[in-house]
Amino acid sequence: MPLNPVAAAGRKNRTAAAVIVLLIMTGLAWLAHRESGRPRVLARAEGQVTAPTGQAGAVAWIEKGGSGGDRVMIARRWRGTKQATSGGEITGVALSGRQVLVARWEEGKGGELTAVDLGGGKQRAIAVVKGRTEQIAAADGVVAWLEERPAAIPAAPFVTAAGAVTVVRSVPEQTGQPSIVAVLEVDPLAGRTARADLLGVSGGRIYWLEHHGRGEAATSVIRRGQSTGGAAVTVVSEAGIQEAVLLDGSLAWTCDSPESASSSYARAVKSLSLPEGTSTPSLPDARGRVIGDWLRRDIQLFGSGRTAYVQDTELLWRLGSQRGEQRVLYSGPGNVRTAAVIGDEEYMVQQEGKRSAIAERPLTWWARVRHLLRG
C-alpha cells in the first residue's frame, strides 16, 4: 500500500517531537539526579535563625539578634524570600493559609499573638498572652499555643502550689475568645520550664506531648483536647517517648525498640491513626504499629503531610506506613542537620559565628525539577 506523504511527514514530526520530549525528560532527570544532594541557600542572616515552620510551598522562620531586632522571614515557592514582620522580641511563629501567626513577648508586661497578612502585611491581634509562647500551631480555623507561666516562688521549687505551669490555649483563627484547653503542672525539679511539646491541630482538636517524672521513672503521654475546652484525653501512653509529630490523619512517635534486647540500644518509630471522636478519658489500646526500627538512639523525628522522617547523625530516612519500608534519602557527614521537613523539602539551619544560613534540599524528583527551574 502506497504511503501517504502527508501522513508520513506527520508521523516523522510526531517521532521527532517524541524524541525531543524524551531527550528533555532524560536531561531533566539527569539534571535532577545531579541536583539531588545540593542544598539551596534561602537566606543568610545576622544573628540566629530558629527552626523553620510552615506548609507546602511556604516556609517561615525567626531571625533573632540582628541589628534591626527580631524579624519574621517568609519564603514562598516562586515568590522568593521577604520579611513578614519585625519588632519586639518574637518568640514563636506559625503559618496558616495566607497568614503568619506571630507571638511577641515583653518581660514584665506580657505579650500578644498577632496574625499578619502575607499579602499586605496588615496585622491583627488575636489574643493576649500572659506567658512566654514559643510553640504555635494552626489548622482548620483554630490557632493553638503553649504558654509557660513561671513559678511564683522560684527559689523554692518544693512549694508546688506556686509552681510553674504550661497552659495549652486556643482561639478561633478569625474572631473569638481564647479558651484554656489544659493546664499542665511542670515537674518542680525537672530543671526545665516547658515539659510539653505542641504537636498540632487536627479536626478541631489540639494534640500535645507531655513529659512526666525524671530518670528511670520518666513517662510521656500524647494527649488531645477540644479547642473549646473540656477534659483532655490521653491518646498514647508509653515509656520512652522522646518526640512525636502530628501527620495528616495519624500520629508518629519515637520509642524504645521493641525488638532490641536492651531498651537503651535502639529506637523505633510507631504510628497510630488518629482516633475519631470519643469521650473516654483514655484509649489504653492505642499502642500504635512500628513503622521504623533499629534506629540510633539520637534520632530526630520530623513529619510532613502523611510521611514521617527521621535523621541520625549521618542519615535522613523516609518512613513508610509499615515496618521495613524505611528508606535512606541522604547520607553524609552530619555537620548540617535537618531542622524541619516541610512539604517535599528538607530545611537546614547552619550557625557560623554570629551569622546563620537557612537552606532547603529537595526530597522528591518533582522538588528537584522545581529547584532546577528556579535556578
Of 6-14, 86-94, 151-159, 261-269, which segment contacts other proteins by CB under 8 A?
A: 151-159
The β-bridge partners of 307 are 304
Provide, rounded to whole angstroms, the least separation between the CB of residue 192 and other proteins.
15
Residue 141 or residue 188: which is nearer to other proteins going by CB?
188
Our finding on whether 287 is near other proteins (CB under 8 A) is no
Our finding on whether 165 is near other proteins (CB under 8 A) is yes
Residue 184 or residue 247: which is nearer to other proteins going by CB?
184
Our finding on whether 28 is near other proteins (CB under 8 A) is no
Q: Which residue, 47, 117, 51, 115, is CA-closest to 82? A: 117
Q: Is 52 helix (H, G, I), strand (E, B) or coil?
A: coil
Q: Which of 16, 22, 41, 183 binds other proteins (CB under 8 A)?
A: 183
CA separation for the pair 221, 209 (Å, rounded): 6
Phi, psi for residue 324 in degrees, rounded to 5: 90, -5
Q: Which of 17, 56, 125, 152 binds other proteins (CB under 8 A)?
A: 152
Q: How far lies 162's CA from each of 107, 147, 149, 154, 330, in Å?
A: 19, 16, 10, 8, 48
Our finding on whether 286 is near other proteins (CB under 8 A) is no
| DSSP code for 296 | -
Phi, psi for residue 50 in degrees, rounded to 5: -85, 170
Residue 149 or residue 296: which is nearer to other proteins going by CB?
149
CA separation for the pair 225, 144 (Å, rounded): 11
Provide, rounded to whole angstroms, the least separation between the CB of residue 98 and other proteins.
30
Range 116-135, binding other proteins (CB under 8 A): 130
Q: Which of 42, 118, 167, 340 binds other proteins (CB under 8 A)?
A: 167
CA separation for the pair 286, 304 (Å, rounded): 22
Cell of 171: 482561639
Cell of 283: 484509649
Contact between 93 and 74 under an 8 Å Cβ cutoff? The reply is: no
Provide, rounded to whole angstroms, the least separation between the CB of residue 200 and other proteins.
22
Our finding on whether 191 is near other proteins (CB under 8 A) is no
CA angle 117, 145, 125 (to 5 degrees): 35
Our finding on whether 160 is near other proteins (CB under 8 A) is yes
Provide, rounded to whole angstroms, the least separation between the CB of residue 326 and other proteins.
36
Residue 131 or residue 362: which is nearer to other proteins going by CB?
131
| DSSP code for 282 | B
Residue 31 or residue 165: which is nearer to other proteins going by CB?
165
Our finding on whether 155 is near other proteins (CB under 8 A) is yes
Q: What is the CA radius of gyration of the chain?
A: 24
Q: Which residues contact 250 (CB under 8 A, 6 or more apart)?
A: 271, 272, 273, 274, 306
Q: Which of 149, 296, 323, 370 binds other proteins (CB under 8 A)?
A: 149
Residue type, 311: Q
Our finding on whether 146 is near other proteins (CB under 8 A) is no
Residue 78 or residue 158: which is nearer to other proteins going by CB?
158
CA separation for the pair 365, 342 (Å, rounded): 15
Q: Which of 159, 231, 239, 328 binds other proteins (CB under 8 A)?
A: 159
Residue 21 or residue 159: which is nearer to other proteins going by CB?
159
Q: Which of 1, 7, 189, 261 binds other proteins (CB under 8 A)?
A: 189
| Residue numbers at the binding site for other proteins (CB under 8 A) | 130, 149, 152-153, 155-162, 165, 167, 180, 183, 188-189, 213, 217
